[in-house]
Copies of this chain bind each other. A is one copy, B any other.
């Protein structure tokens, strides 16, 4: 079931440099969403662009959901200014969700604006007491809002070394788990900028690890009626192919795709 619901903003804060967290009361979406899914947002009621803005759900439960986003343009600038009590037009939950983490040792890797769905998964894993490793990347310490706790398998990286380990998330991965040093059931879950996802995918390939990636494509609707959000899959294109075979829809068939399945992360 997909809901269109007026979410009531109950908090909206800058949690790191240019990164905001908003908590909504949104009972229907809260009770039906799973980690990895997203909502599609109308930044304001007099929004004059035609597209909503998709944002991963960072947490759900107790009638609430939260999102974590970077202020990068017009829509997210409006969002960063939402007042407490404001009603926001949300559509969700949308898309597929993280799977296969119960029977594996999950390494979950987030970076840039791809932290929300990873944090959501982290929370679920903690709650379900599933042992896992969390790796988060940022450009510098100001963009992190989380402690670096190697003892708890929580590793932060920064490009400039100002917090956690200097380098990117794959540098961390390689240092903790050198190529070949994985247990059989390790599975990677990742979300982040295309370049990072490509590197994570390469790392998984080299280690022959199962790897799921949450991709961000431009979306007009978020629920399957515009066919704009395509991701190219390694599907046979000769013969009779359906229109969602080679070009999958990120909003219905994704946003999470298996790394093996797709051509590129862009």
Interfacial residues, chain A to chain B (CB-CB below 8 A): 46, 48, 74
Measured CA separation A74–B74 after assembly (Å): 18
Q: How many copies does the complex hold?
A: 2
Chain B's closest residue to A46 (CB) is: B74
Q: What chain B residues lie within 8 Å of A74 (beta carbons)?
A: 46
Measured CA separation A46–B78 after assembly (Å): 11
Task: List 2 A-B residue pairs with CB atoms under 8 Å apart, sorted by A's residue number.
Answer: A46-B74, A48-B48
Distance (whole angstroms) from the CB of A238 to the closest CB of chain B:
46
Chain B's closest residue to A74 (CB) is: B46
Q: What chain B residues lie within 8 Å of A48 (beta carbons)?
A: 48
Distance (whole angstroms) from the CB of A81 to the closest CB of chain B:
11
Q: What chain B residues lie within 8 Å of A46 (beta carbons)?
A: 74
Measured CA separation A46–B74 after assembly (Å): 9
2 smallest CB-CB distances across A and B, nearest first, come from: A48-B48, A46-B74
Measured CA separation A94–B83 after assembly (Å): 37
Chain B's closest residue to A77 (CB) is: B46
Chain B's closest residue to A48 (CB) is: B48
Measured CA separation A48–B46 after assembly (Å): 12
Distance (whole angstroms) from the CB of A124 to the closest CB of chain B:
38
